[in-house]
Structure 1
Amino acid sequence: MLEVMMKPLQNQVLSPDLLQYFKVLQFSSEELREYMEQMAQDNPVMELKDIRVAGLYVPDREAGAETAELDGEANAFSGISAAEWKRMEIQRKLDWLASTDHQNRVYYGDDTERANDDYIQDLREYGESLQEYLKSQLVDSLFPGQDREIIDYIIDSLDKNGYFSEPFSVTAAIFHTDEQKIMKALQVVQDLDPAGVGCRDLKECLLLQIKRRNVHTGERTDANKRKVRLLSESIIAEDLRELARNRIHLIARKYHIDIETVHEAVAEIKKLNPKPGNAFNDRMNFQYVTPDVLVVTLEGNFQILAPDFHIPRFTVNRYYSQLLETCEEEKTRKYLRDKISQVKRLQDELKMRSSTLIHVSRALVEHQHRFFEMGPGNKIPMNLGDIATKTNLSISTISRTFRCKYLQCRWGVYPMNYFLTYAIAGKGEKTVQKKECNVTIEHIKAELCKIISKEDKRKPLSDQEIMEKLKDRGIELSRRTIAKYRLNFGIPDRYGRREFSQE
C-alpha cells in the first residue's frame, strides 16, 4: 500500500526587483557605467547626463541614507568642497602616474641605454605595441620582397615576452625557402630594440643583451669592468644552471677568480630583462582603477564614503514626463509609465547599492582596524561570514558587494577581496576559519622574513630550524608547511640563500 504524506517546504523566491538590485550591486564601476549607457539606449525616457565632477553618497546617521550632490557647492560632509574633491582626484591620478612611471623598467648602468629605455617607456605611454615598435625601425629599401615578408612574419609571431618559439623548419616550409634564410631574418629582428627580442630561450635572450652592452660600452669602461662584463657573458653562456643553484664558489673555482668578482658579474646579469617584450604588454593591459569606497580619518575616527563622481547622472526626460500627463492613449501611457518606473527603480537601486557598500565597508574597517591604523602586515583573519554576521546580511550579498570593488585608504587602493584572509590551522596542512586563531598568511610571511633577515648568510637556516624559531614566536607549523609557504613567498631554500665569501 502506498502512503501519501504531505510535508510543508519553505522555498525562498526572490522578486524580480530584488534580483535586479543584486545584479546592480555586484557590478564593478565600469560594468555599472556600461549597464547605464546601454539602458539609456534602450529606454528613451532615460536622459543620461555628463559624469559628475564630484559627488558623494553619504549615509544619514539617524534616518538612513541620502545622496549629496556637489555641483560646485560645499560638501555637506566634513566641509570639503567640490573643488577640493576634484583637486584630490587629480592629485591621486598624478600620484598613480608617478608610481607607475618606473614599472617594468630595465635599468642599465649606461646612460645611452638608459635614455633608450626612457624612449621605449614613452612609446608605451602612447600604447604602441611591441610589433609596431619593431617594424617602425625597419628600412623598407634594405629588405625587399620575401625578406621583408619573413621578417614581418617573425615579428608578428613573437609571444608577449618577445620570444620566437616556432621551429625554423616550420617557418621555412611556410615561405618555401631554406632554414638559413629564416635564421638571417631572425638575426635582423634580434638587432632591433629592445635588446633581447627574437630570442628562442632565456640563455639567448640574456646573451643578446649582454653582448650588445659589451659592444656599446667596451671602450668607455676600465679594464676591471670589461673583465666583469666578459665574465657575465661567459656565465650566461655556460653556467646558468650553476648560477640558478647559487653555486658561486664553483663558478669562481672554474674561472680561477675570487668570489667578489663573480658577485659583480652576477649583479650585471641581474640588470638584464628576461622578458624584453613584456614591458609593452604590461603597459597596454594596465587599467586605471577607480575606488568605490574611501576610508578617511576625521577627528580621529574612520569615516566611510562612497564617491559617485564616476557614475553618470541621469533623470527622466522632461518631454516624456509631460507627455504622460497630456497623452490620452492608454497604450502610450502604459509604455511611458513602465519606462519611467524603470528609471526610478534604477535610482533606488543605486541608493541601495551605495548604502550597502558603506554598511559593509564599515564592518570591514571595524574588523580590520589594525590594518587601517598601522598599515599592511597587520591584517587579521576575516571571511565573508564574519562580515555577514556584523551586518546581518547574507553571505551571498556580502560576496556581491565585495566583487570587483576597490577601497582607497591612506595606505593605498586595494581590492575589497584583499581583506579576506584566513587563519592557519596550527600544525596541520589545512587553512581554516578559526576566530580564536590570529595567525594569517601575511603574518607568517612577515615573521619568516624577519627570521631569514637575521640568519647567518654563510650558514642559512634549514626549514626545520625555521620551524623551531616560529614555534618560539607562537606559530606552530610543520616543516612541510613552512617549505610550501617559503616557495610561495619566493624565498629560496638554504642553499639558494647561502652567500659565499673569499676564504
Structure 2
Amino acid sequence: MSMEQVPSLRLEQRLKLAPQIIQSIEILQLPLLALEQRINQELVENPVLELRQVSPEEETPPAEEPLEERTTEETDFAKLDELAEAWEDYFSYASRPRPSEPAEDKKFQAIQNTPAPAPSLQDYLTMQMNLLNLEADLRTAVANIIYNIDDNGYLRYSIEEIAASLVASGGAGEAGGIPLEKLEEALKVVQGLDPPGVGARDLRECLLLQMSGGEPTLAREIVEDRLEDIQKNLYPKVARALGVSIEEVKEAVEFIGHLNPYPGALFSGQSAPYVLPDVIVEVQDGEYEVRLEERLSSNIFISPYYRRLLDSRGGDSKVRSFVRKKIQGARWLIEAIEQRRTTLFKIAKALVEFQTDFLEKGVAYLKPLKMQEVADATGVHVSTVSRAISGKYIQTPFGIYEMKFFFAGGPARRPRALISISEAPSLPLREEAKGDSWKAVKYKISQLVDKEDKKNPLSDEEIVKKLRAEGTQIARRTVAKYRRELGIPSSRRRREY
C-alpha cells in the first residue's frame, strides 16, 4: 500500500472565540487592582492611549470628536517629521558616553527598592544562637533542632528521630551523627531562647516553659496534672482532686489563658491581603445607591492627535498601519472596560435589590440566593455572573464583603417571580423570600450562644426549638454541624461554674 499526499477539500464548522471576546472575558474577571495594573501596562505599550489627570471635582473624561468630523491637515505630517527629527537628535545626544556620570544599573536599583522579607522564626532563633558562646558540636546540634521546629514554634520530632536522621544523612559527630546527650543539651538551649515556649514538644511543655516561677502554684499543678480536665471544662473534678475551690481553679485558668499556645505564630510571615472594593453601596435620601470605584478605567481615551494622523492623506504606510492597529487595540480595551462596568453595575444593582434586608438589618437577614436568579434578572448568562463577581468586593454599611458572600444556599422556599432589568435602570421590589440562608442560620446560632445563660447553656435541641420558633426549620444534626464549623464547643464545655 503506497502512501502519498493528495490535496482534498473539507467543509467544517468550528467555534472559535475572537480576540476581542477573549479580551472582554479577561477584563471582566479582573478585580479593581488587577484592572489598574492592566491599564497601566496598556498605557506603556500603546502610544495612542492617554490618561486624563482629573481633579476630585471632575469625573468625566474629555469628549472625543468623531473620526468623520475631524479635518485632515497636511501640516500634521510635517509636524510629525519635525518631531521625529527632534527625537533622533535627542537620542543621538543621549547615547553619547558621559564619563563624568556613572551608568545606572536598573537591576541594581530594583534590588535596592525591593523591601526585605520579614525574618522567619528559624532566622530569629539562629540570630540569637550566634550571640551565644557555644562549642562547635553544641552549635551544630542547636542549629539542627532549630530547623526542625515548625511555624507554630513546636518541635514535632523526637530527639531520637532527629539523631537517626542525622546518622542517615552523615551528619557531624560520633558514628556520623550527634549523641543524644548533646541533642538534649541543645534542646534546653533552644527552649531558653525568645519567644518563650519555643521548642516545646506538646502544649503542656509549651505552657510550662512560659512559667518563670512567679506564677501561682495552682496554675503549674493544673498544667502538669489536670490540663485535659480543664480542656473538657471539668472544673468541679479538678477542684476536688486538688482540694481547692472552684473560684481558685477559675483564677488559675485565667492566668493560664494569658500564656501563648503558639509562640511561633508571630513569625508566620502571612500578611493580610489588601482589599479595594469594586462596588460601593451608600444610602442617599433613604435609598441605596450603587457606585463603581473607577480611578483609571473611566479616564483613558484615544489621543486625538493619532486619530487625525490616521485620517490624514499621505505619509508612511507602515506608520499608518501601526497607528491603525494601536487604535483598534485601544478601542477594544475601552469597549471591554465599558462592558465590564455595565455588567458589574447590573449585577451589583440586582444584589442590592435581592439583599435589601441584609443591608438594613444585618447578616441574620441574608436571604438564600443563586447565581441563576441574578443571571435571569440581569439578562446575562450564569457563567458571566460567576466571572463578574470573581475576586471582587463590595462595600456595604455593614462592612466590606466578597461579592460571592451574597450567594448562599438555604432551605426550600416558595419560588419568586423573576423580572428582567436588562433595559430598566432599577429593579422593582421582589416578593419576600421564604426562609433564611445558611449563613444567616449560622449567625443566629452564634447570637443565641452569645446571649445564653452561661451557667445553664443551651443544648443543640434547645437551639433547634428556638430557631423553629423564629420560623427557621432545621434539624438538630445540622445545628451540631454548624456549631462545630463556628468553633463553638458543646453545652457541657460552655458551662461556667
TM over 0.5, yes or no?
A: yes
Q: What secondary structure does 2:283 align onto?
A: strand
2:31 matched to 1:31?
no
The equivalent of 1:202 in structure 2 is 203
Q: Distance in 2 between matches of 1:367 and 1:136?
A: 56
Q: Distance in 2 between matches of 1:326 and 1:129?
A: 65
Structure 2 unaligned regions, length at least 5: 1-12, 61-115, 172-176, 414-430
- The answer on whether the counterparts of 1:384 and 1:399 sit within 8 Å (CA) in structure 2 is yes
Matched letter for residue 479 of structure 2: I
Q: Kindly provide the CA deviation profile for residues 182-220 of structure 1, in whole angstroms up to 9, marking residues without a partner as x.
A: 2322322222222222222222222222x13xx3xx2xx
- The answer on whether the counterparts of 2:364 and 2:444 sit within 8 Å (CA) in structure 1 is no
- The answer on whether the counterparts of 2:28 and 2:388 sit within 8 Å (CA) in structure 1 is yes
So what's the TM-score if we normalise by structure 1?
A: 0.70
The equivalent of 1:342 in structure 2 is 329
The equivalent of 1:61 in structure 2 is none
The equivalent of 1:233 in structure 2 is 220
Matched letter for residue 55 of structure 2: G
Cα 1:478–1:377, aligned 2, differ >3 Å: closer, same or farther?
A: closer
- The answer on whether the counterparts of 1:206 and 1:236 sit within 8 Å (CA) in structure 2 is yes
The equivalent of 2:127 in structure 1 is 136
Cα 1:447–1:33, aligned 2, differ >3 Å: closer, same or farther?
A: closer
2:288 matched to 1:302?
yes
Q: Distance in 2 between matches of 1:398 and 1:376?
A: 22
The equivalent of 1:223 in structure 2 is none
The equivalent of 2:457 in structure 1 is 460
Matched letter for residue 20 of structure 1: Q
Q: Mean Cα displacement is larger for which, 361-370 or 351-360?
A: 351-360
The equivalent of 2:260 in structure 1 is 273
- The answer on whether the counterparts of 1:252 and 1:258 sit within 8 Å (CA) in structure 2 is yes
Shift of 1:143: 2.8
The equivalent of 1:91 in structure 2 is none
The equivalent of 2:408 in structure 1 is 421
Shift of 1:243: 1.6
Cα 1:146–1:350, aligned 2, differ >3 Å: closer, same or farther?
A: farther
- The answer on whether the counterparts of 1:161 and 1:278 sit within 8 Å (CA) in structure 2 is yes
2:478 matched to 1:495?
no
- Counterparts of residues 112-261 of structure 1 (less than 5 Å): 127-140=118-131, 142-172=133-163, 173=166, 174=169, 175=171, 176-209=177-210, 211-212=211-212, 215=213, 218=214, 226=215, 229-261=216-248
Q: Distance in 2 between matches of 1:31 and 1:449?
A: 36
Aligned residues: 402
Q: Which has the larger radius of gyration?
A: 2
So what's the TM-score if we normalise by structure 2?
A: 0.71
Q: Kindly provide the CA deviation profile for residues 296-355 of structure 1, in whole angstroms up to 9, marking residues without a partner as x.
A: 222222222222237697666899778766885545533442233212311221222222
Q: Kindly provide the CA deviation profile for residues 447-472 of structure 1, in whole angstroms up to 9, marking residues without a partner as x.
A: 33454455554443432333233222
Matched letter for residue 366 of structure 2: K
**Of residues 359, 362, 365 in structure 1, which corresponds to 2:349?**
362
- The answer on whether the counterparts of 1:45 and 1:316 sit within 8 Å (CA) in structure 2 is no
The equivalent of 1:264 in structure 2 is 251
Please state which structure has a larger fraction of its residues in strand. 1
Q: What secondary structure does 1:408 align onto?
A: strand
- The answer on whether the counterparts of 1:186 and 1:198 sit within 8 Å (CA) in structure 2 is yes
**Sequence identity percentage:** 33
Q: Distance in 2 between matches of 1:330 and 1:308?
A: 37
- The answer on whether the counterparts of 1:242 and 1:251 sit within 8 Å (CA) in structure 2 is yes
- The answer on whether the counterparts of 1:45 and 1:340 sit within 8 Å (CA) in structure 2 is no
Matched letter for residue 463 of structure 1: D
Q: C-alpha root-mean-square deviation of aligned residues, in Å?
A: 3.3
Matched letter for residue 405 of structure 2: Y
